[in-house]
Structure 1
Amino acid sequence: MSNPLLRPDDPRFRKQQISQADGANPYAEGDGVLEAEADAASTRDKNSFAAPASSGGRPFVPQYEVTADHRAGLLLILTSITILASGVAWLTATSFMLVGWLLPLIGIVPSIAVVFLAADDLRTMRLGARDPAGRTLTLLALWLSAFTTITILTATGLMIYWGISILPPGFL
């Protein structure tokens, strides 16, 4: 069943012509453009994307504006928290102080956060989007935090192996 209001060869659905009444195309560029392209093609180098012969450098050198400050201070504060948690973990594991292994395990959260934040900061410093002045402190925070993550996990694993409870005795 078709629409009874539509007729074959309806002028509403006919393709419109872009030429004017005299037959000229208002969007044509003319013969001057064709002649200029022919002249340029004869003098053009084989590699269209090569840098011009007159300039000795790269055709485009990107310039980046630093948009964000470094977060080395924050990363070092979080790393100091993880170092403190690592010290508590090893004191608990080696001296059987019976404080449980939940407290040292809490230090994993800022430690892993510092690893990911520092890696992202170093990447953005390399790209030029973050101030590179704090690169050495960010690297220090990354390495210290990675090391303390390993030490906390090792100490917690030892406490679980030795049968130390998750919470201190008499806590509940």
Structure 2
Amino acid sequence: MFLRHSTPRELPLYLLLGIFRGLVSLSFSWCTSLIMVVTDKIQKTFAMPKAVFPVVGGFTVGPVALIYPEVLYWGFENVDTLLESRPLVKGLSVDLLLQLIAIKIAATSFCRACGLVGSYYAPSLFIGAAAGMAYGKLISFMISQLNPIFHLSGIEGASPQAYGLVYISFVTI
């Protein structure tokens, strides 16, 4: 993958990426907390055994995965696919990337609340790659649209893959 050398003029764009990353992280935490409270209330209200919840989780996420197969864990192949850079390959659109972020957050939170085994590491890498790519594509689009109006020749965004890699690098720290 070829990543262009970045310049100090890009630092404000990375600052905005950090703010975006914080918002995505907060939404992931809030979603997980909310779904855990809801499943706990359902379990207590209906006196359901905890052994039922993993089945409910699987039957709920399964149909979602038929529409968005990317939410399933394929090793790190799905992260590689998001960050892939090939000539003449446009990759996933921004709206699909944003949908994948929301669906992955909801599916991971629901599976966790239902007691399905798993961690947050691999989902966080996927969410980070998708969020970084979406951010990079949005920044590139905005700069290209605003450049003729405001003459933004001093600001040049990095490739979307660079933003994706920077985003997921904070997950591994």
If the length of structure 2 is used for normalisation, what is the TM-score? 0.38
If the length of structure 1 is used for normalisation, what is the TM-score? 0.38
Task: Select the structure with the greater relative contact order (CA < 8 A; seq sep ≥ 6).
Answer: 2
Could you say which structure has the larger radius of gyration? 1
Point out the structure with the larger helix share.
Answer: 2
